[in-house]
Structure 1
Amino acid sequence: MSKFILGLDVGTTSVKAVLISADSRNVAASHALPTVADISGGSRTEEREQDPGRIIDALNRCMGQLPADKLQRVCSIGVSGQMHGVLFWTSKTGCDWSSGDFFTTRDTSQLITWQDGRCSSDFLSSLPKPDSHLSVATGFGCATIFWYMKHRPEFLEDFAIAGTIQDYVVSMLCGLDGCVMTPQNAASWGFFNTSTNQWNENILKAAGFPLHLLPQCVPSAGLAGETRSTWHGVPAGTPVGAALGDFQCSVYSCMSATTDAVLNISTSAQLTFAMPAGFKPPDCPEHTSSISYFPYFQSSYLAVAASLNGGNVLATFVDMLTSWMRELGTEVSDSCLYEKLICCALNQETSNLRVSPTILGERHNPLCLGQVTDISATNLSLGHVTRALCRGVLTNIISMMPADTLQRAGATRIVGSGSALTRNEVLRQEVEKAFPLPVVYGQNADSAAGVAMVLCDRL
């Protein structure tokens, strides 16, 4: 009988589970659910945290929607998820398996996500210089731990292990005593050298960093262990891959040739192309550069313009409008309003309004916030504003990686992916206007399918 590979993606706003055939790589079943995991940052409005219990609950419910007969024939599990963030837990007691064939969280911290802004520019400049080609930014795991060392050292005393949310899922599935992490996720934490695949232990130790919180590094696409017990019908003893980055898995799912450039717009936005074989990144961070080099597979790299501002900008716009309407005594759902905004923008084919949507800043320029210019009495309709906002998201990412950079790198087409791009025709129209290259949209351009494909190709 056919065997299946289970791919899981633990994203910023949703989780997804995909079953692909181990023989054909075709998707046999999939299901996605929102996590609704965001929680208030308290008095510090720049804090961005999520409830891991809600995330794992959504993952369990997602698994419950997949065909039971196929789950029983899963031969391998791959996990990807949101990078940069950090979750703390206490060894194997970080979960509870007493509810049957699924686990729930126990003795964990909140997830501090990649969107977290508690590390100011002044604080980051006070940190030791990393031995890495990648800069350290707020929302990065090691920077967050340094922040706790300074502001809440007692917090760290309660936990023995740290990792990304996807690393946590792997650890709990396998019953690991510690955390294993691939270079893809380790690089996203900062203070990790991708050439040697080692943490900057000497630098961190000299700064008093709690080294026991650093995960053990294992190769990307390598195995972390086996499932400790039956999980939603998936047999005990099923191999589980070490968690990968959601961005790399999304690219893997839709980059069919090295001449493809991939544009992903989901919560955030990324534009990327593959660097040639043998490429080595620079020794030191280029702090003002908008292009970074992310570790990919088999010692290769992706050139990436990683914007903090993508679908989350549109979501913030919708939230603002619903909040205003609520204050005016009118209730409308976010989804209904979103659909009406897209309709308005489709009827407004162009706009001379200019929106710079960098409301979260950018890692290479954190103080560059959003602006609206060229405002006139004739361009204030919802159609104008929504059209200009969608164009602004594209203009921003292209300013970080211009089209001629892609062409010089040998890119022959743009592959579009991501949930925001999938559901927003206006955004797709603006993509096709913005690039001189043809634009195609990948059928399986998602991280859950990508991480399953990675394992499938390595069987």
Structure 2
Amino acid sequence: MADNQAIGLSPCAAPGTVCVLGIDLGTTSVKAALVVETAQGQIVTQSCSRETQAQADSPAAGAQGMEQDVQKIIKALNECLAAFPQEHLQRVSRIGISGQMHGVVFWKTNQGCKWAKSGTGHTFQPGEVSHLITWQDGRCSSSFLSSLPQPQSHLSVATGFGCATIYWYLKNSPEFLKPFDAAGTIHDYVVAMLCDLERPLMSVQNAASWGYFNSRSKSWNTEILRESGFPLDLLPEVGDPGDIAGRMPHDWHGIPKGAEVGIALGDFQCSVYSCMTERTDAVLNISTSAQLTVPMPLGFQPPETPDSLSAVAYFPYFDGYDVLESRVYTQMINAALAQNATRLSICPTVFGERHMPEQLASVTSIAASELSLGHVTRALCHGIIQNLHSMLPFQHLKEAGVKRILGSGSALSRNEVLKQEVEKTFPLPVIYGKDVDAAVGAAMVMLHRR
């Protein structure tokens, strides 16, 4: 399925105008956006997305595994770029790339991809590359995670984290790792291929999402990992968000040879960056998942040790400060709008939360009078917002100096009941329509780099 949009007047076509390409390698789709800065601000001149349909079997982990075929992800990326006008791509001088965090893909250095000539220049196809084990992977059970060494980090290690997955292979299938000498997230892989890097380069954003990374010192927990037999040669080098990873030694889909490629960024951070304009903003995004995010004060340092029971997680952002996050139609909405309140209570955590995986969904206070479509929809919307509020209460937002909430995401934009529940729960001005876009955010990071 394709989703192509042309927005604005295509300023990339104007002579002398610099275009930046942003790419987001998401969980289900790949998106690319061309962004240019004009006197009026940023303009997305054109965007394109492709579903990857990359879900793959996981022979080693069975039903608990969640893997994707890297061949299909790169195929979707190539199709995406091929849809852009050549005259636009030929003016691209910088590329910013983000993607799904936490996951891991393995490859063989110098054999990770194969470059080939195409009608629009060079393209690459994956070579000696494993499947992507995604952030949704569930092979690391609670008992397995408890057997791992305690990290020297403010973040606990969870299933789906890159380092946890590597530990799992060490214990359960060590022969799997033998052919590979490099590892990273899927977007780290793409950056390494585009720049022909001898060793992967990872931003502190992605490193923190892998586990066993100290965000204060910006370094891996090498001593802890070495003592437990972890293959340290698989750990990428680490750099800051906005750094240049390298220059392309080939042209790519018409993008000129020598274009700068930024170090790969976290999709979460890029999504926030694409819409947060003030440090006193909070970003509420409700789509496939739900996140409520606020920036921390300049100079903030996260705790030195993880709190596995805390719903609040701190992630490295840009410019030296962090962000904290807590995880989580028509007939239904109309029925719920007519139902202002209900005693029915729904806890919507079907998949649990990362800090409380055992907290599954539940329905309580069930009565015959509370079973209408309006009651159920109202209770569900209330439960979604209350779950977010339980993890990051209004009082915390107030203490952080938040003055307004930017509401985004398709579920929120189309659901008036959710909006009502947000406004009842968080007594702050709420601005809707500030949709997050990781591809645009990745481009903006490179656009603002001086």
The TM-score, its normalising length taken from structure 2, stands at: 0.90
CA deviation after TM superposition for structure 1 residue 382, in Å:
5.1
Question: 1:378 & 1:61 partners in 2: Cα distance?
Answer: 52
Per-residue deviation, residues 411-443 of structure 1 (Å, max 9, x unmatched): 111112234434555544443343211111354
Q: How does 1:76-87 map to 2 (within 5 A)?
A: 76-87=94-105
Bigger shift: 240-249 or 383-392? 383-392
Q: Does 1:439 align with 2:427?
A: no
User: Match for 2:331 among 340, 343, 351?
Assistant: 343
User: Match for 1:33 among 25, 43, 50?
Assistant: 50
Letter in 1 for 2:141: S
Bigger shift: 349-358 or 66-75? 349-358
| Residue matched to 2:10 | none
User: Match for 1:281 among 291, 302, 316?
Assistant: 302
Do the aligned residues in 2 keep the contact of 1:362 with 1:368 (CA within 8 Å)?
yes
| Residue matched to 2:11 | none
Q: How does 1:42-441 map to 2 (within 5 A)?
A: 44-98=62-116, 100=118, 101-307=122-328, 341-349=329-337, 350=339, 351-380=342-371, 384-422=375-413, 424-441=415-432
Question: 1:455 & 1:348 partners in 2: Cα distance?
Answer: 44
Three-state SS of the structure 2 residue aligned to 1:149 is helix
CA deviation after TM superposition for structure 1 residue 81, in Å:
0.8
CA deviation after TM superposition for structure 1 residue 48, in Å:
1.5
Per-residue deviation, residues 282-305 of structure 1 (Å, max 9, x unmatched): 111112111111111122111221
> Percent same amino acid at aligned positions?
54
Three-state SS of the structure 1 residue aligned to 2:274 is helix
Letter in 1 for 2:104: V
| Structure-2 change in CA distance of 1:178 and 1:400 (3 Å) | same
| Structure-2 change in CA distance of 1:420 and 1:210 (3 Å) | farther
Three-state SS of the structure 1 residue aligned to 2:256 is coil
CA deviation after TM superposition for structure 1 residue 387, in Å:
4.3
Question: 1:225 & 1:367 partners in 2: Cα distance?
Answer: 43
Do the aligned residues in 2 keep the contact of 1:345 with 1:384 (CA within 8 Å)?
no
Per-residue deviation, residues 165-195 of structure 1 (Å, max 9, x unmatched): 1111111111222210000000000000111
Per-residue deviation, residues 238-262 of structure 1 (Å, max 9, x unmatched): 0000000011111111111111011
Do the aligned residues in 1 keep the contact of 2:336 with 2:417 (CA within 8 Å)?
no
Do the aligned residues in 2 keep the contact of 1:29 with 1:67 (CA within 8 Å)?
no
Question: 1:264 & 1:184 partners in 2: Cα distance?
Answer: 19
Do the aligned residues in 2 keep the contact of 1:8 with 1:451 (CA within 8 Å)?
yes
User: Match for 1:17 among 32, 36, 47?
Assistant: 32
Question: 1:267 & 1:404 partners in 2: Cα distance?
Answer: 26
| Structure-2 change in CA distance of 1:5 and 1:385 (3 Å) | same
Question: 1:107 & 1:379 partners in 2: Cα distance?
Answer: 57
Question: 1:433 & 1:440 partners in 2: Cα distance?
Answer: 14
CA deviation after TM superposition for structure 1 residue 149, in Å:
0.5
CA deviation after TM superposition for structure 1 residue 51, in Å:
1.6
Bigger shift: 205-214 or 224-233? 224-233
Letter in 1 for 2:386: T
Bigger shift: 295-304 or 155-164? 295-304
Three-state SS of the structure 2 residue aligned to 1:294 is strand
Do the aligned residues in 2 keep the contact of 1:270 with 1:306 (CA within 8 Å)?
yes
Three-state SS of the structure 2 residue aligned to 1:262 is strand
Question: 1:8 & 1:63 partners in 2: Cα distance?
Answer: 10
Per-residue deviation, residues 340-364 of structure 1 (Å, max 9, x unmatched): x443233322454322121221121
| Structure-2 change in CA distance of 1:432 and 1:105 (3 Å) | farther
CA deviation after TM superposition for structure 1 residue 395, in Å:
1.9
Do the aligned residues in 1 keep the contact of 2:99 with 2:187 (CA within 8 Å)?
yes
CA deviation after TM superposition for structure 1 residue 206, in Å:
0.5
Question: 1:293 & 1:4 partners in 2: Cα distance?
Answer: 32
Q: What is the count of residue pairs matched by the alignment? A: 426
Three-state SS of the structure 2 residue aligned to 1:28 is strand
Letter in 2 for 1:148: Y
| Structure-2 change in CA distance of 1:235 and 1:426 (3 Å) | farther
| Structure-2 change in CA distance of 1:427 and 1:174 (3 Å) | farther
Question: 2:371 & 2:114 partners in 1: Cα distance?
Answer: 53
Letter in 1 for 2:99: G
Do the aligned residues in 2 keep the contact of 1:20 with 1:449 (CA within 8 Å)?
yes
Do the aligned residues in 2 keep the contact of 1:7 with 1:19 (CA within 8 Å)?
yes
Three-state SS of the structure 1 residue aligned to 2:167 is helix
| Residue matched to 2:5 | none
CA deviation after TM superposition for structure 1 residue 408, in Å:
1.7
| Structure-2 change in CA distance of 1:222 and 1:54 (3 Å) | same
Do the aligned residues in 1 keep the contact of 2:333 with 2:415 (CA within 8 Å)?
no
Do the aligned residues in 2 keep the contact of 1:417 with 1:446 (CA within 8 Å)?
no
Do the aligned residues in 1 keep the contact of 2:407 with 2:434 (CA within 8 Å)?
no
